[in-house]
Structure formats: structure tokens, C-alpha cells
Structure 1
Amino acid sequence: MEYSTPPLPELEGVRHRYVSVRGIRLHVAEAGEGEPVVLLHGFPQHWYGWRRLVPLLSARYRLLCVDQRGFGWSDTPSKGYDTDSRVADVLALLDELGLDRVRLIGHDWGAWTGFHVCLKAPERVRHYLALNMMHPWPLHHRLMPQSWRFWYTALLEQPLLGRWMLRHRPGFTRYLMRKGVVEQAVWTPQAAEEFVRSSQEPGRARAGEALHRAFALRDIARLVLGRYKKLRLTTPTVVLGGERDFMLPPSVLTDAGRHADDLRVEIVPGCGHYLHEERPDLVAAVAEDLFSDHR
């Protein structure tokens, strides 16, 4: 286990804690009071990826920005980066914090985790906002022609190569982040370098590799074999996508049909793969509307 402690970025009103779950320590950045909202970051970010959203929601909600295993300031175990393990981490965290039911926001990999938290334990999630991620029932005839967009994951998921790329080729991480937004000014130098720096840490580079490899070996097979078709999403859910998302274009973000009781998809014009960075105001407004049930 690694307990390296690089300095935490400063964000007004945020307090930090460590919670032991399933044999590891997870770092949680917490802000605000009120009904709990759990936020799950994507790749290559950590809790600081929510820095623009925190001031917009913390006046009404208790925000719990979780560093998922291997990222940010959480532990970097050698295993447990598959979706089932990440879901188990989140549910164990809720138990440790004494939270029976929460609202959930996820981005990218965190959003994929979020869908499966809702499917695994629907009684624990009141509402769910997924950013820049498809649900588990995509239309294959729409997804397959877009599979070329995932070329970069072939590098990241390769044993040893993935971690080497993240550790020794920071330009690759910067490229993915630049490719993910329409306006480059969205990335302040401090924020961009923080996510690149974190990705270069040996344990976190290994975690980035393991995360991508676990998806390739397990989740893609489940998608292809239709293993999710028997599952049903009962949590009221909104999926927000970017019109110019380089990874998941609007054509892939379809509704879920009979697989979801209450899911709607909204596409944000002129935005890419990091909606919480590009349009935090819109993300906060959609979250408040969803959470209020006044739709």
C-alpha cells in the first residue's frame, strides 16, 4: 500500500478525510451541508476535477467527492479495478459513512461505476446524473462504427505499456485532456498539471492501466454477450453528453428503452468530454432540477 502524500490542491470550503473500506483507504473531499451527493470522477482526474461544481452545489448539498481506488489520494492496491470492485467500494463507503441513500453524479469511468451502483443497489441511490458516458444498453449498430474513437485505450490497457505511457509520456495525458474540450482555456495550467502529475505517480499509473484493462477484459465481453440485458435501471437518471465529445458522440447516447424506468438523454451543444469543466453551471442546474423531482 502506498501512502504518499503530495500536497492537496486548495479549494475553499473543502474538508478532507480518509475512510477505510474493503482493506484500503479512500480519500474523500467533502463540502457543504444537507442531503448527501456522492461524486465519482473520471480518468485521468480525481476529486479536484469537481472544483468548478463544488461552489455551485455545496450551498444546498453535502458533497462527497471520492477518489476512487488508485487515484488522487486513495490507496493504490495491486488489484480491484474492475467495475464490480469499484461498485463494492462505493457501497462500502456509504456504509462506513452511515449513508442509507444518496444522490449520485459520475463522469466518464465514474459514470460507468455509477450506473452499476444503481443497478446493484437501487435502494441506495435517489437520483443519478451521468456525464459523458453511455448506459449499459447501447445500440451496437451505432456503437461499433464509433469504436475507432477508443484507439488510445489500446495503449493504456496493455500490461506495462499503459503505466509506462502515463509515467513517462505526460504529453499523452495532456493530449487526451486537450482533445476532450472544445475551448482549451477551460484547462487552467494549475489544474491540467495537477492531473498530469497525479497520473505520473507509479501506483496511479499502474491503476490507470489496470482500470482500462479490466474494462477491456470484462465489461466489453459483457456488453457483446448481452449480459446486461436482464438488468433494469429504476433510479431516475439523466445522461448529459457533449455534442463534440471525441469519445462518445451523440449518436451513441441513445435512450435505454425498456431497460430503464426513468432515463433521459440531453446533448449539450459546443461541448466535449468534460462537461463539468466546460459547463459547470449547466451541470449544476440539471443536477438541481433532477434532485428536486420537479421535472
Structure 2
Amino acid sequence: MALCSFSASISLRKHHHPLISTLPTLPRKKNFLRTCRSSSEPNEDYFLDAPVSVGDGFSFSGGKYSDEPSPADEWFKQGKIVKAHPVGGTGEKAKDPIFGLAMAGSSQASTDLFRWFCVESGSSANPPVVLIHGFPSQAYSYRKVLPILSKNNHAIAFDWLGFGFSDKPQPKYGFDYTLKEYVESLESVISEFSKDKVTLVVQGYFAPVVVKYAKDHQEKLNDLILLNPPLTAKHANLPSTLSIFSNFLLGEIFSQDPLRASDKALTSCGPYKIKEDVAMVYRRPYLSSGSAGFALNAISRSMKKELKGFVEEMRRTLTDENWKVQTTVCWGQRDRWLSFEGVEDFCKQSNLQLITLPMAGHHVQEDCSEEVGNLIAGIVSKRRRI
């Protein structure tokens, strides 16, 4: 159980429902800065600053998991495939960007709509909460948040195109992994998930993409919750762990290495080392085919090129007087990629609620899943009581 201390500063802001003009004007909620301290019980999936666990972890055809179900297979069984967003391009079969050889089936997009992997929890009659993973990660990062939210909500976590079990088309064969395309595809997949208003939760470097979508669809949102988003101008530069995937030739090579593309990318941004069972799920896409690596290479290049502009637009959106969506920033203070410097000032300037988790790193939903799940549930339930 998290122990939270918080201080409050009050600011008022008018809220208007975009469709019903007769609703009364509500004062903006108090702006809270809360600090959540994790319990003394160790997280069962993590070792704090521990050495890498023993196990081969390189192959699904032998070694540790040869005689038992793969953790990735067990996760996949919990989900389903949803088709959304039209496939672009000429319809030609994808070829790898290095040698021009035809790629395997996992690299090919479907002929009409992209296939998205998602996991749902809770009754569809309850308010929908969509959980959006960061770069690079998977919906799997929310596996312990889903059951917490499912008690009173319809929780949905999905893999972005290019990640996890969703389609991984090669660039120029249906999807080029530009941030603009991610905004457009997000609109399609959210419309497929729910026709009603939703709460969006997004982590890390995909936050500017989600805010860009939210800016033009405020009527679709109840709440927006940002987990360690790039909020300051300094945050617009990718850390070397990720930017290396955008380098010419070297990026293509490193993105095919599961330990660099998965393990290092997930553990270099915070104080934790992942257990082998968990790491195996994150490695799975990179072990299955080259498509995940080539997608990682493409999105890294797009991020390096476009992130600055998207961060600047996100900052303008969140400080604009026309921004009406209740927004909360949840920040893991042991983030090694994004500095906390300037975050508190920006949240005060924007009248955003800021919640800090001192023991969490960049991937707060992994590091403090119980606390994050309860925080999200509390925000959503508080709105229902208003």
C-alpha cells in the first residue's frame, strides 16, 4: 500500500461539456502535488539494482522454457486482435531495408485494416480506460494495472503498431512510423474500442502523440493521465540508448539485438532489473523475426526527427486556455532518461495535477504497478462522483 503525502494549491478554471451547454460551470479541481512512497514489500517482478538473473533467455526453442509454456504465449492468450486503421502503401509484399529480400509473414500487413493486439479487463458496461504504452515497450507493461482497474472500469491495453503482437509493417509498405501516422492510427483504434468518452493513460515518449490526438478530440475524453511524459524542452532529445537505433546501418544492426532493443532499453531508464520471465515477454517480438527490429529502427528515426516539434506543441496545448481535459502527470523520480527539473514548474503553470513516485523510474507502471493502478482508479472514480 502506498503512503501519500500531498500539498495543494488552488486554481479555478471553467469546464464546459462540448455537447450539452446546459451543464453547470464547474470550478477546476485543486492542483495537488502528491508524493507516493512504495510499501516495504518488494515487487515480485523486480530486484532493486540487482544483477541480471540467471537463464539463457535467447531462444524460445531451447533452454529455460523448452519444456514449458512461454510466458509470452501465456500473455498472448489473454488478448485478442482488433482491426483498425486502413493499410496504406501499394499493397506490395514487404522487403527488408538492408538486402531487399522478401520478409516473413509477421512483417506483412493485412490487406485492409491493421491488426492490433489488445488485452481487456472488466465489464464493457463500465467506463473505458485505455492504457497506452511508451517507446519502446508493450501493453504487457500494464499487466498488473489491468486487474486493479477492472473492478469498476473497462480497462484496455494495446500494442502500438510496430510493437508487441500488433502488426509490424515495414516502412513504405503500409506504415512509415511517422508521429503523424501514429496520431491518425490512434484515432482509428480508440474509435474501435469505444464509442463513448474514454480516459486515456499514456507513458513516456508517446505522450506527445496522444496529446496531439486529444487536442482535436477533447469531446471524446474524460481524463488524460501522463506517466513520465517529455514535458520540457530538454526532454525532446532521445537518450543515447534509444537514439542509437536511428543511426545509419548501426541502427539496423543494433535494433536486431534483443538484449539492446529490449533489455537495455527497459532497464537503463530506471533503478530496476527485470526478472527473466518478464524479460522473455519483452524479447519475444525481436526473437520471432526481424520485423520488430526494423520497426524500432524506423520509429527511432521518426522520434529523433519529429519529437521536438511534438513536445513543443504538447506544451502549448496543455497551457492553452482552450484545453478543457482534466490532466494528471504521474512522475517516477528515478527516471534516468527524463530529468524532473522543470516538471513541477510546468505543471504549476499549466494547473496540472502532479503526483510523484520517488522509487519509480521511467516505466512507472512497471516499477510501481499497484500504486499507479490505484492512482488511475482514484482519478476515474472521483470524476464519477462529481
Q: TM-score category by the smaller chain?
A: 0.7 to 0.9
Residue 230 and residue 246 in structure 1: after superposition, are their counterparts in 2 closer, same or farther (change >3 A)? Answer: closer
* Structure 1 position 131, deviation (Å): 0.9
Q: Deviations over 1:183-224 (max 9, x none)?
A: 43xx2211112212323531111111111211221232455x
Letter of the 2:139 partner, please give it. Answer: W
TM-score by length of 2: 0.64
Q: Are 2:218 and 1:125 equivalent residues in the alignment? A: no
Match of 2:284 in 1: 197
Letter of the 1:215 partner, please give it. Answer: M
Aligned residue pairs: how many? 278
Q: Deviations over 1:5-57 (max 9, x none)?
A: x9854259944232232222222221211111111112332121111111211
Match of 2:333 in 1: 243
Task: Please point out which of 24, 29, 32 is paired with 2:119.
Answer: 29
* Structure 1 position 61, deviation (Å): 1.2
**Residues 168-187 of structure 1: matches in 2 within 5 Å?**
168=257, 170-171=259-260, 173-184=262-273, 187=274
Match of 1:72 in 2: 164
CA distance in 2, matches of 1:162, 1:188: 26
CA distance in 2, matches of 1:210, 1:132: 23
In angstroms, what is the RMSD of aligned CA positions? Answer: 2.9
Residue 222 and residue 26 in structure 1: after superposition, are their counterparts in 2 closer, same or farther (change >3 A)? Answer: closer
CA distance in 2, matches of 1:154, 1:47: 22
CA contact (8 A) 2:333 2:361 kept: yes
Larger Rg: 2
* Structure 1 position 277, deviation (Å): 1.0
Match of 2:190 in 1: 94
Q: Are 2:108 and 1:16 equivalent residues in the alignment? A: no
TM-score by length of 1: 0.83
CA distance in 1, matches of 2:286, 2:216: 29
CA contact (8 A) 1:49 1:277 kept: yes
CA distance in 2, matches of 1:206, 1:31: 31
Secondary structure of 1:76's match?
Answer: coil
**Residues 22-61 of structure 1: matches in 2 within 5 Å?**
22-23=86-87, 24-33=114-123, 34-61=126-153
CA distance in 2, matches of 1:272, 1:196: 20
Letter of the 2:269 partner, please give it. Answer: G
CA contact (8 A) 1:134 1:252 kept: no
* Structure 1 position 242, deviation (Å): 1.3
Q: Deviations over 1:148-172 (max 9, x none)?
A: x712233111244323212136246
Match of 1:3 in 2: none
Letter of the 1:51 partner, please give it. Answer: R
Letter of the 1:88 partner, please give it. Answer: E
CA distance in 1, matches of 2:77, 2:345: 37
Letter of the 2:85 partner, please give it. Answer: V
CA distance in 1, matches of 2:79, 2:265: 30
- Which has a greater percent of helix? 1
Match of 1:220 in 2: 308
Match of 1:158 in 2: 247
Residue 162 and residue 120 in structure 1: after superposition, are their counterparts in 2 closer, same or farther (change >3 A)? Answer: farther
Letter of the 2:278 partner, please give it. Answer: A
Q: Deviations over 1:113-152 (max 9, x none)?
A: 32222223111111011112123xx2x4xx27x95x7122
Secondary structure of 2:164's match?
Answer: coil
CA distance in 2, matches of 1:82, 1:274: 23
* Structure 1 position 102, deviation (Å): 0.6
Task: Please point out which of 246, 266, 273 is paired with 2:362.
Answer: 273
Residue 120 and residue 212 in structure 1: after superposition, are their counterparts in 2 closer, same or farther (change >3 A)? Answer: farther
Letter of the 1:110 partner, please give it. Answer: F
Letter of the 1:235 partner, please give it. Answer: V
CA distance in 2, matches of 1:130, 1:71: 20
